[in-house]
Structure 1
Amino acid sequence: MKIFIAGATGALGSRLVPMLVQAGHDVVGTSRSRERAATVDAAGGHGVVMDGRDLAAVHRAVLEAAPDVVVHQLTSLAGGIDFKHFDESFAVTNELRTRTTDALIAAAEEAGTGRIIVQSFTGWANEHTGSSIKTEADPLDPNPAAECRATLAGIAHVERAAVEAGGIALRYGGFYGPGQSLGEGGELLESIRARNVPIVGGGTGIWSFIHIEDAAAATAAAVERGTAGRYNIVDDEPAPVSVWLPELARLIGAKAPRRLPAWLARPMIGDFGVAMMTTSRGSSNAKAKAELGWSPRYASWRDGFRRGLGDASSASRAA
């Protein structure tokens, strides 16, 4: 099949291109720069320069490719994430999840594309009440903190647009691994190493993780199978902050994280940050495993954090 990947040189796209090429697919991948588009060529695909915010360019690139499948992996998070000003951190990504998603779907329909796959997220976006582990049938949070409302609306839009077009929305858990914020040398991992990430309140917020390579493998599986709908792409072990954060600190040789009451943390990380740490819900991967024929290599973040955060030297230090 001919696969068009919008955002082929990002965290996930750069891993997806060689997987699909090795599986025998003809891959066209986009990047905003000629230099980075050349890495798609080097991986065996065909690199195309495209700015995802230029809707005319999006339309033109899809029609020229005439793909069987469109994969939307466009994000813009180079500036880092500020929990207290979360929507500001995701402003461009939210545009890519709304206007650009609509442009990709319209162009795909015009080109006769049979399937579209989009990137979504699961975790804090789940409803923060009821069962601790959510499935794709459970609703998104109807009462989000003010700091994340625009971002949640963007997530809802990209999912709804894809599914209504007969496509697939992949709800990824928190990425970790080489090149990620939660990876060797990454911003979040270094903050944990420096004891700048505390356990807030009881640390009862539940997080679902996925290694970046496992996320790419799930996406490759969705290219070939699965029905229209939403799929949680997470590992087998959702875990509360009070469990995973101290264990990660131990694995990287850091001191145990500090503890802060919610009232003291709120001025620093906002209502959204407190909710992430205290009331967020995890996600089940049962549907993805059953329908996509996919299972994560790192079934638990415990093993993934120990062996999959970075290169061999970092893994040996963690062991």
Structure 2
Amino acid sequence: MRVFVAGAAGAIGRRLIPQLVARGHQVTASTRGSARLEQLRRLGAEPVVVDGLDAAAVGEAIARSEPDVIVHQMTALAGKANLRNFDKWFATTNKLRTAGTEHLLAAAEAAGVSKFVAQSYTGWSNIREGGAVKTEDDPYDPDPARFQTESINGLQFLDKVVPAAPLEGMVLRYGNFYGPGGSESLVELVRKRQMPIIGDGAGVWSWIHLDDAAAATVAAIERGRRGIYNITDDEPAAVAEWLPYLAEVVGAKKPLRVPVWLGRLAAGDVTVRWMTEGRGASNAKAKRELDWQPRWSTWRDGFRHGLTDSGSAQAGERQETA
């Protein structure tokens, strides 16, 4: 198929393009600036420069490439993470998830595109009541932190408009990324002991290796049907469980523990809620309906062997040999 990957220079796009090319798909890859054009070309794609918030430019690029499928991976997180003012940090990404999605969908309809796959997220956005693991049918947090309202609205917008579009529209809610290009800043914080366990650390997180997220995206492109899918590994886990393990894997000291009041003072309400009340996500629907299995079925193996390209490659070799 002819696949247009919007936002292809991001963490997912760089892992997705080689998988698509290896399976015989023809890929057009868009990026906001010219700096990544040669990198995308080396990955096997035909690169184009497109501002996802410029409706005319998006329409022209889609019309020229005549894709069968559009994959929306556009995000814009620059600089140091700002969890205290999450919406400010995510401001451009939120626009890409709303206005950017509208531009892509309009261009898709005009060009006769048959399938549309959009990046979303599952994690801090889940309702913080009831069981520790949520499905696609569970609601979003009805009372998000003060500075996450716009960001959760962006996720809800995707859920509303993409499956309702006059094509095969899918929303992939990825868990927390790790792997080459997705977890270096996290590992640095852990090594510096700047990521403590807050309170009891009972907040549950779901993880997904970038290669597995890309493979799930390929499965959605090739076999997916209209709907919403959680793309996570098989083992949601509490912060108090996965964070010390990650520290051990990367050779760091055990993470510090701080009380909730100090965590809120130092890091803000967003971080405290995520670490103490977060809920994970079930991947059962994606495994069943996309015929997909994460190679790194648990973050335990993924953290230990898949944080770097060399680790991922060695694991792949072991799997092929087996």
Tell me which interval the TM-score lies in, with the shorter structure as reference length. Answer: over 0.9
- The question of 1:9 aligning with 2:9 is answered yes
Structure 1 moving runs of 4+ over 3 Å: 311-316
For 1:138, the aligned partner's letter is D
Give the corresponding residue for 1:110.
Answer: 110
Assess if the C-alpha contact under 8 Å between 2:55 and 2:103 holds in 1.
yes
Decide which moves more: 30-39 or 125-134. 30-39
1:176 to 175, 178, 190: 178
Q: Tell me the percent identity.
A: 51
Pairwise mapping of residues 235-274 of structure 1 onto structure 2 (< 5 A)?
A: 235-274=233-272
Assess if the C-alpha contact under 8 Å between 1:211 and 1:298 holds in 2.
yes
Assess if the C-alpha contact under 8 Å between 1:306 and 1:315 holds in 2.
no
Pairwise mapping of residues 70-85 of structure 1 onto structure 2 (< 5 A)?
A: 70-85=70-85
Which whole-Å CA distance do the structure 1 matches of 2:35 and 2:271 have between them? Answer: 37
Per-residue deviation, 1:311? 4.1
Which whole-Å CA distance do the structure 1 matches of 2:309 and 2:43 have between them? Answer: 21
Which whole-Å CA distance do the structure 1 matches of 2:311 and 2:240 have between them? Answer: 27
Give the corresponding residue for 2:128.
Answer: 128
For 1:231, the aligned partner's letter is Y
Give the corresponding residue for 1:275.
Answer: 273
Pairwise mapping of residues 130-145 of structure 1 onto structure 2 (< 5 A)?
A: 130-145=130-145
In the TM superposition, what whole-angstrom CA distance separates every residue of 1:121-157 from its partner, at most 9, and x where no partner exists?
A: 0011110101110000111111101111111111111
Give the corresponding residue for 2:222.
Answer: 224
**TM superposition score normalised by structure 1:** 0.95
For the residue of structure 2 that corresponds to 1:164, the secondary structure is coil
For 2:29, the aligned partner's letter is G
Give the corresponding residue for 1:51.
Answer: 51
Structure 2 unmatched runs, 5+: 315-322
Structure 1 unmatched runs, 5+: none
Q: CA RMSD in A?
A: 1.6
For 1:68, the aligned partner's letter is D
For 2:56, the aligned partner's letter is A
For the residue of structure 1 that corresponds to 2:117, the secondary structure is strand
Give the corresponding residue for 1:211.
Answer: 209
Per-residue deviation, 1:80? 3.0
Which whole-Å CA distance do the structure 2 matches of 1:259 and 1:102 have between them? Answer: 44
